[in-house]
Amino acid sequence: MTSYRQPGVTLTDHRFSVPLDHANPSGERIELYGREAVATEKAGADLPWLLYLEGGPGFGARRFIGRQAWLGRALEDFRVLLLDQRGTGLSTPANRQTLPARGDARQQADHLAHFRSDNIVRDCEAIRPQLTGGAPWTLLGQSFGGFCAVRYLSAAPEGLRTVLITGGLPTLDGGPDDVYRAAYPRIERKVAAHYARYPQDVEQARRIVAHIAEHHPVLPNGYTLTPEAFQSLGILLGVGDGTHQLHYLLENAFVPTPGGHELSDTFQESVAAQLSFAGHPLYALIHEAIYAQDDRPTAWSADRVRAEFPRFDAARTLAGDTPLLFTGETIHPWHFTADPALRPLRETAELLAARKDWPTLYDPDRLAANKVPVAAAVYHDDMYVDTTHSLRTARAIRGLRTWVTDEYEHDGVRASGPRVLDRLLALARDEI
């Protein structure tokens, strides 16, 4: 193990070996990486552990510098493990560069079927005794990390001392179609709010998408920018400062040239950085699979359900005079032709979309009998996680206490500094 310091924090690298398939513990093994963080002045103290699971799927744990965001509050009480979930960060990677070693597309899809919350929880239980000596730990789950937390409560509650969930209470019995059918109206509300704040963006967005439809630009990283890809920049609207980020991006779209107005290099570079899945391909590959729990394929759910909401059609918008609607946290088949980081994985993605044998993730009976203290922040009208679904799940988990707020968007635990985590700890401890 390697230890080093940042301001006020001592960090230690941990690497763990776990089975790829926990049902076959003697088979292939993969590596997990976790970064331990402890307040430097408490480095030698006997502290309880807090496990942090990042949102996603497909993102490694956030790389904090010092005591940023919620980490400073956590370090007052805990020794923290920032875990790179399987396939992410410094854990054994799964991407266009590594997956060909698995074999053909079918073998790659079979491999990726092991990367959902059920196996993430099994990973956590495999490494917990090595760190805590067998003691239960507190779990902080952000977004998809909250989905993992509900799976943890369903499968191994004995490993949990307390559970804190931020923007991550999943539907227990709904499939991806239910998720996206609830999402598109919510996304439309976020777009309307953006245009109310920045009315100049209505015409600018129409102008940009018309240019894209006519010129079919290819971004500097090789990404084919289509109207649908441009619309997906709406994912920014789900975080606290996202509406401002989107506005600044749009206002810098065009530059005058001898041949007329063209998309500026600055705009193209910014869009390429926002749209590329090079750093988190698992997000695109298994995003819909995180909702699957039965013998029905996901079958490109977000794309199918979008057809029920024709107002999102860019061509229809350009033919009329309505504002362009952006989209949000949805994955479509065109992602695997537009993005060079995903193109080699298109057949793999198709096989995952057609897969039917997804295990059930949640145990309603066990959740109804829950004895672990649980507190959850539910962000009202969260763009990424439906509030109605979240509150229904909250009622199904015995003893869970909710804090429903519209003060923050989906990134509240990060954007609020210590406030969200402090509130949830107080709820879980019955201090308020």
- The structural domains of the chain, with segments of one domain joined by +, span 3-172+362-428, 176-354
Distances in whole angstroms, Cα of residue 194 to Cα of each of 234, 254, 301, 391: 10, 20, 26, 26
Say whether pLDDT at 324 is over 90. Answer: yes
Q: Is 123 a catalytic residue?
A: no
Judge contact between 142 and 167, C-beta under 8 A.
yes
> β-strands 9-19, 29-39: how paired?
antiparallel
pLDDT digits (tens, 9 = 90+) for 131-140: 999 999 999 9
For the stretch 55-98, pLDDT in tens is 999 999 999 999 999 999 999 999 999 999 999 999 999 999 99
Token output for 157: 């509650």
Residue 16: closest CA among 91, 111, 114, 120: 91
Angle between helix 242-251 and 200-215 (nearest 10): 60
Of the residues 321, 357, 365, 430, which is catalytic?
A: 357
Sign for the pseudo-dihedral over CA of 361, 122, 427, 52: negative
Measured distance CA(168)–CA(410) in Å, rounded: 9
Query: Quick check: 162 pLDDT over 90?
Result: yes
Residue 120: phi, psi to the nearest 5?
-65, -40
SS (H, E, C) 305-320: HHCCCHHHCHHHHHHC
Q: What is the pLDDT of residue 411?
A: 97
Q: Is 184 helix (H, G, I), strand (E, B) or coil?
A: helix
Inter-residue contact 82 to 35 (CB < 8 Å): yes
- Compute the distance between CA of residue 282 and CA of residue 57 in angstroms, rounded to an integer: 6
> Which DSSP string do the residues of 234-267 spell out, in sequence order?
GGGGGSTTHHHHHHHHHHT-EEEETTEEEE-HHH
pLDDT for res 1: 79
Closest CA to 377 of 317, 314, 424: 424
d(CA 23, CA 344): 29
Give me the catalytic one of 118, 410, 411, 416: 410
Average pLDDT value over all residues in the chain: 97
Q: Is 357 considered catalytic here?
A: yes
Collapsing DSSP to helix, strand or coil, 294 comes out as coil
The reported pLDDT for the residue numbered 294 is 84
Write the pLDDT tens digit of every residue in 273-296. Answer: 999 999 999 999 999 999 999 889
d(CA 162, CA 218): 48
Looking at the structure, give the CATH architecture of the domain made up of residues 3-172+362-428.
Answer: 3-Layer(aba) Sandwich (3.40)
- CA quadruple 384, 97, 289, 350: dihedral sign: positive
CB atoms within 10 A of CB 42: 15
> In the chain, pLDDT over 90 holds for what percent of residues?
98
- The mean pLDDT value for 409-426 works out to 97
- What is the pTM for the complete model shown? 0.97
Cα of 185 vs its chain's centroid, Å: 20
Cis peptide bond upstream of 344, omega within 30 = no
From the candidates 91, 117, 143, 232, give the one annotated as an active-site residue. 143
Q: Read off the pLDDT of residues 87-129 as tens digits, 9 standing for 90 and up.
A: 999 999 999 999 999 999 999 999 999 999 999 999 999 999 9
Q: Does residue 410 carry a catalytic annotation?
A: yes
Tens digits of residue pLDDT in 346-367: 999 999 999 999 999 999 999 9
**Residue range 185-232, pLDDT digits in tens:** 999 999 999 999 999 999 999 999 999 999 999 999 999 999 999 999
pLDDT at 302 over 90: yes
